[in-house]
Amino acid sequence: MRKIYLLAAAAALLAAPAFATDNTITIGFTDSQTGKLNVDSQGQSRGYDFWRDEVNAKGGIDVGGKKYKIQFVNYDDQSVGGRVQQLYTRLINHDKAQFLFGPYSSGMTAPATVVTEEYKKIMLDSGGAEEKPFQQGNKYLYMVITSAGHYLSGAVDALKAKDPHAKVAIVYSDDPFSKAVATAAIPQAKAAGLDVVMEASYAPSTTDFGPIVNKIISSGADAFLGGGHYADGATLARQLHEQKARMKFMAILVAPSDNKFAELGEGALGVTFPSQWEPQVSYKPDFGPSSAEFVKAFEAKYHQVPDYHAASGYADGLILQHAIEQAKSLDTDKVAAALNATDATIFFGHIKFAVDAGNHGLQAAHSMVLGQWQKENGKLVKQVVWPEAAASAKMLYPIPATMN
């Protein structure tokens, strides 16, 4: 009940327009406090908040010798794409946001970019991986994460390394993000020499995957790539296990990166998932905290291990901060120029933005890792298994048939 009062109080506070003062920088964004995207979006927002609190605790961002504190203005977009444009317009015109962070998911980011670009405001995107908005000549839009087209590249490489002739079924949810991921993965798998024996999309409202799993079994596939979001991805994993589809390799989007995926028990064992970041990664940062420092500080504050949404949200802030400090100015074009020139490694990985007109702002350097659910002392834990250089454990391959 207290939570609800707090929410109400927070909503009331947020409803009041924010007035930028001389020594604050106002950053606006929408997040999905309610609706189907709430889990991931709240993770991302926690990353934003964590970055803001750390910066403010150190006195703020240094802009040419003067310190500026960070102030956020954010609204609940209710996980509804139609709300986003209205709210970003409000953030820019009414709340006078100087910079913007993206909402969560591709479906919400695309409509927001129309508004931010029209008003020539910089938006850092850490929640929408779809490439399309970046291929329309936008100049003030920057993607900090790996784009959808490369989501399953690591899974394809990892599978190829284990079995160059694996028979793959690629089955994905018919939503913009999953579709973008899978349609890119299909030619990648074929180019890698894998035998793609089944390609199919399913309606996001699918509840029973029994017949689909039977079809996968009929196709003779021994590896599975695909999925979509939470309920569907988890159901697929559970039914592939229960119906003894005996996949040697499974890479499923989104659902397995949630810690609660372990509730699937044996059904979770061996399932791999592409991840923008995992706590175990060990990049050497040029600035900002190391991965271990980030995890430790985050855990101390929120009493939970940060997921990649929190990490990517924090990365958004860190990259913007770096660009402002480099530009020594809050002027949009100067900061945009600094973002264009960014080529640095942070705890989240290597960040560099494409600057050619056809892909401007797309992430050009960051790469994903492949996580896998493995057993350690009888408990299911997440390990990083690919790329091998960043791995925290060896990949479990094939997934033991007795278990599957």
Partner 1 sequence: MLGFLASVIDGVLVGFVYGLAAMGLTLIWGVMDVVNLTHGVMIVCGMFALYALINTLGIPPYVALLPVLVGGFIVGAGLYWLAIHRVVGRPALMSLLSTFSVNLVLVGLGTAVLGTGLFNVDVSIPGFSLGRYTFPGAHIVAAIMAALIAYALYLFLGHTKIGKAVRAVANNREAAELVGVPTTRVLAFTVGTGVAIAAVAGMLIATLFPFTVLSGDDYTLKSFVVTVLGGFGNPLGALFAGVALGVLEGAITPFVPVSWTLVIEFALFVVVLIAFPGGLFAPRRGAL
Please say whether the beta carbons of 346 and 288 come within 8 A. Answer: yes
Q: How far apart are the first and last CA of the chain?
A: 42
Residue 235 is a binding residue for partner 1 (CB under 8 A): yes
Nearer to partner 1, 3 or 379 (CB): 3
Of the two residues 70 and 245, which places its CB atom closer to partner 1 in the complex?
245
Looking at beta carbons only, is 242 or 376 nearer to partner 1? 242
Asked if residue 377 binds partner 1 (CB under 8 A), the reply is: no
**Residues 38, 41, 44, 45, CA torsion sign:** negative
* Whole-angstrom Cα Rg for the chain: 21
Q: What are the two backbone dihedrals, phi and then psi, of residue 96, each rounded to the nearest 5 degrees? A: 55, 45
Question: Considering the rule CB under 8 A, would residue 242 count as an interface residue with partner 1?
Answer: yes
Cβ at position 246, least distance to partner 1 in Å: 8
CA atoms within 13 A on the CB side of 301: 14
With CB under 8 A as the contact rule, the residue among 123, 255, 318, 362 that binds partner 1 is 255
Q: Interface with partner 1 includes 192 (CB under 8 A)?
A: no
For partner 1, which is the closer residue by CB, 5 or 356? 5
User: Among residues 169 and 335, whose Cβ is nearest to partner 1?
Assistant: 169
Amino acid at 375: K
- Of 270, 299, 175, 283, nearest in space to 231 by CA: 175
Could you tell me which stretch among 9-17, 58-66, 255-263, 329-337 binds partner 1 (CB under 8 A)? Answer: 255-263
Task: State the Cα–Cα distance between residues 54 and 288, nearest whole angstrom.
Answer: 11
Long-range contacts of 350-353 (CB under 8 A, 24+ apart): 350/283, 351/144, 351/315, 351/319, 353/142, 353/143
Binding-residue total with partner 1 (CB under 8 A): 45
Q: Is 261 in the site for partner 1 (CB under 8 A)?
A: yes
* Coil vs helix vs strand at 69: strand
Distances (CA, A) of 217 to 186, 197, 264: 19, 11, 21
Placement of tokens 């009940």 in the chain: 1
Q: Which is nearer to partner 1, 59 or 220 (CB)?
A: 220
CB under 8 A: which stretch of 116-124, 188-196, 239-247, 295-303 binds partner 1? Answer: 239-247
187 binds partner 1 (CB under 8 A): no
Closest approach of partner 1 to the CB of residue 49, in Å: 17
Q: Does 117 bind partner 1 (CB under 8 A)?
A: no
3-state SS class at 381: strand
- Site residues (vs partner 1, CB under 8 A): 3-4, 7, 34-39, 42, 171, 174, 200-203, 205-208, 210-212, 214-215, 217-218, 230-231, 234-235, 238-239, 242-244, 255, 258, 260-261, 263-267
